[in-house]
Amino acid sequence: MILDNINSSQDLRALSQEELPALAGEVRQEIINVVSKTGGHLASSLGVVDLTIALHYAFDTPKDRIVWDVGHQAYAHKILTGRRSQFPTLRQHGGMSGFPKREESSSDHFDVGHASTSISAALGIAAARDIKHENFRVIAVIGDGSISAGLAFEGMNQAGHLRKNLVVILNDNEMSISPNVGALSSYLSRLMTGNLYTKFRQETKQFLQGIPRVGEAMFNIAKRTEDSIKGLMVPGMLFEDLGFQYVGPIDGHNIEHLLQTFSNIKDFTWPVLIHVITKKGKGCEFAECNPSQYHGTPPFDLATGKVSKKTAVLSYTDVFGQTMIKLAAENEKVVAISAAMPEGTGLDKFSEQFPDRFFDVGIAESHGITFACGLATEGLHPVAAIYSTFTQRAYDQIVHDLCLQNLPVTLALDRAGLVGEDGPTHHGVFDIAYLRHVPNMVLMAPKDENELQHMIKTAVEHPGPTAVRYPRGTGYAVPMDQELKLLEIGKAELLRDGTDVAIIAIGNMVYPAGEAAKRLAGDGISASVVNARFVKPLDKEMVLQVAKRTGRVVTVEEHALMGGFGSTVLECLDAAGMAGVKSLRIGLPDAYIEHGTQSQLRKKYGLDTEGIYASVKDFVMQSRLKAVTPVVSLKAKDA
């Protein structure tokens, strides 16, 4: 295999150009083999194998910097830059990250996982290069989905102004996760067909000029007509107007063609955008036919692509999607918004049933929230279903547009908590902290999938901003109520009464906390268990009541401890003059959490039944000891 001799991009450049297509085939096979076992971003990575090889062959990498957007397509880049032997550990706990990571390789120049950062980052790198009088190329590779975001346009806007030596490769496969949406997407399609038109024009010219006598005259008439509409015909005018030289569109699977193009622009010292057309899933039949399904896939059968059977237990996402359909049927004010993830958020069926009440805003979370606010000012109730981690992008819109105007918009924060193999860029462990201090916000988290449907109903009926956070994965297969209920806002649920300690848990930590309490009972520790339901407004009455009864409070959350649910409870105790109550907060440390399965990470961070049990037991024992110690020392003093 050619690949056996490639341990760096320098090795790749030692190959002859003729060997490159065969190398591409080997890299594709390697990606398919490994991802069939580990799961991962298959279709996007397969789509850019030829492009990746051409980039490393044409440019002097890693001195020349390739900056990947999102980074989910960088598997070929990883394999070709000395990480082939680690590639089978892709996305495994302790193994290779699914995304570029500077600490993983000197060929990775910017950590990434969220979309649309590459142009800004690459421009920053280029500006630093110039300040330091260094000499290297910077190449941002961005997809047609990701380039539609405001952030990417902000980057292009400044790049065009600064006129920095910067290459942007627009990897256009007409797909985001689902088919790409929006006016820019239509524009790019027109560029592609425009190129065909150009080809057609050239052929027509040859044909007309070939006709004796009249041909030349006919050609001149045709040319005059064409010149009069020339302004409309300049390909890539949008990018040209932003200060980029537009090159393309070119076939992103033709390595020779790619190399020729890269060689043509090598001496350009201004911003260039190369429009490359690729096919998502290229070289793998089932991924080509169904690129959305194989965008991010669990392990699959190599021959058929079949994923092992999905469990029959409903996921939180399924329940959310079904509930939205029910709610929309009974309440015509309900509309739904997704930011390029209708399937991921469970809104795909809603979009089919209520096409006029569904909006896919593209990868534009901040716009999506302000757009929702506009809808709400006219009396509708938008539900914006965006993963917890991507809602981070919309913080100012939540503060300034949503909560300040106290508008009836619901944030459905899917994938809240530890998301697993995608790792630190994707864990949704900051939302309580970034939402709970914003005035007017009602923030809740269900203990199970049945409670989720009632919370969505409650949120949609509430006349102000609401957010519901729920985890990735399946629920507990609990019976589902047929009728949707309104929950009392700010009311917690006492699940178990006890006298030694009160465990107040939020969201998916309620069940493990309940299990832990059962085990503690076996050790003679009597624990109350509270399903908090609401982070805000917190059920202060309940908190104070259980705190008074037990004198010991433990909070449990799958969220960063700093500014999280436990902090809310401590603030409540403090405000009531009960800061002296013994307390323990169980949650995530002030650190980015690595990748791994959800269960591995919960175990490591003490967020499973075993971990909660051990922490609470230790806490109660320690505090009992401390309670005993002063008595002992007093006695000693008396003596």
Sites of contact with ligand TPP (CB under 6 A): 44, 47, 70, 72-73, 114-115, 143-146, 171, 173, 175-177, 280, 339-341, 363, 365, 390, 393
Q: How far is the CB of 576 from ligand TPP (least distance, A)?
A: 40
Helix (H, G, I), strand (E, B) or coil at 497: coil
Q: Please give the structure tokens belonging to residue 638.
A: 């008396």
Q: How far is the CB of 482 from ligand TPP (least distance, A)?
A: 34
The dihedrals phi and psi of 631, each to the nearest 5 degrees, come to -65, -45
The dihedrals phi and psi of 522, each to the nearest 5 degrees, come to -65, -25
Q: How far is the CB of 444 from ligand TPP (least distance, A)?
A: 24
Quote the CA–CA distance of 388 and 204 in Å, as a whole number: 54
Q: How far is the CB of 398 from ligand TPP (least distance, A)?
A: 15
The dihedrals phi and psi of 135, each to the nearest 5 degrees, come to -135, 100
Enter the DSSP assignment of 1: -
Q: How far is the CB of 531 from ligand TPP (least distance, A)?
A: 31
Q: How far is the CB of 162 from ligand TPP (least distance, A)?
A: 24
Which residue intervals of 74-182 are DSSP H helices?
75-78, 118-131, 150-162
Residue closer to ligand TPP by CB (options 145, 236) is: 145
Confirm if 53 and 46 have CB atoms less than 8 A apart: no
Give yes or no: 393 in active site.
yes
Quote the CA–CA distance of 438 and 421 in Å, as a whole number: 31
Residue closer to ligand TPP by CB (options 177, 429) is: 177
Quote the CA–CA distance of 118 and 61 in Å, as a whole number: 17
Q: Please give the structure tokens belonging to residue 370.
A: 């302000």
Give residue number: closest CB to ligand TPP. Answer: 143
Residue closer to ligand TPP by CB (options 173, 466) is: 173
Q: How far is the CB of 508 from ligand TPP (least distance, A)?
A: 22
Alpha-carbon distances, residue 554 vs 266, 446, 509, 605, 622 (angstroms): 62, 19, 12, 16, 13
Cα four-point dihedral sign 170, 171, 176, 182: positive
Nearest CA to 140 out of 129, 126, 128 is that of 126
Q: How far is the CB of 614 from ligand TPP (least distance, A)?
A: 36
Confirm if 567 and 561 have CB atoms less than 8 A apart: yes
Confirm if 489 and 520 have CB atoms less than 8 A apart: no
Q: Cis ω on the peptide bond leading into residue 298 (within 30° of 0)?
A: no
Q: How far is the CB of 342 from ligand TPP (least distance, A)?
A: 10
Nearest CA to 480 out of 279, 323, 252, 289 is that of 323
Residue among 280, 415, 533, 552 flagged as catalytic? 280
Confirm if 160 and 267 have CB atoms less than 8 A apart: no
Residue closer to ligand TPP by CB (options 393, 602) is: 393
Residue closer to ligand TPP by CB (options 388, 600) is: 388
Quote the CA–CA distance of 80 and 108 in Å, as a whole number: 12
Confirm if 269 and 165 have CB atoms less than 8 A apart: yes
Alpha-carbon distances, residue 468 vs 255, 289, 351, 362, 462 (angstroms): 48, 35, 20, 22, 12
Q: Which residues of 41-52 are buried (b: 16+ CB within 10 A; e: fewer)?
A: bbbbbbbbbbbb
Residue among 365, 421, 451, 558 flagged as catalytic? 365
Residue closer to ligand TPP by CB (options 145, 346) is: 145
Confirm if 50 and 277 have CB atoms less than 8 A apart: no
Q: If residue 322 lies in a helix (H) or strand (E), which one and from where to where?
A: helix 316-330
Residue among 65, 91, 357, 393 flagged as catalytic? 393
Q: How far is the CB of 228 from ligand TPP (least distance, A)?
A: 35
Alpha-carbon distances, residue 535 vs 424, 453, 492, 569, 634 (angstroms): 24, 18, 10, 9, 41
Residue closer to ligand TPP by CB (options 145, 271) is: 145
Q: Please give the structure tokens belonging to residue 262.
A: 């890269």
Active site residues: 280, 365, 393
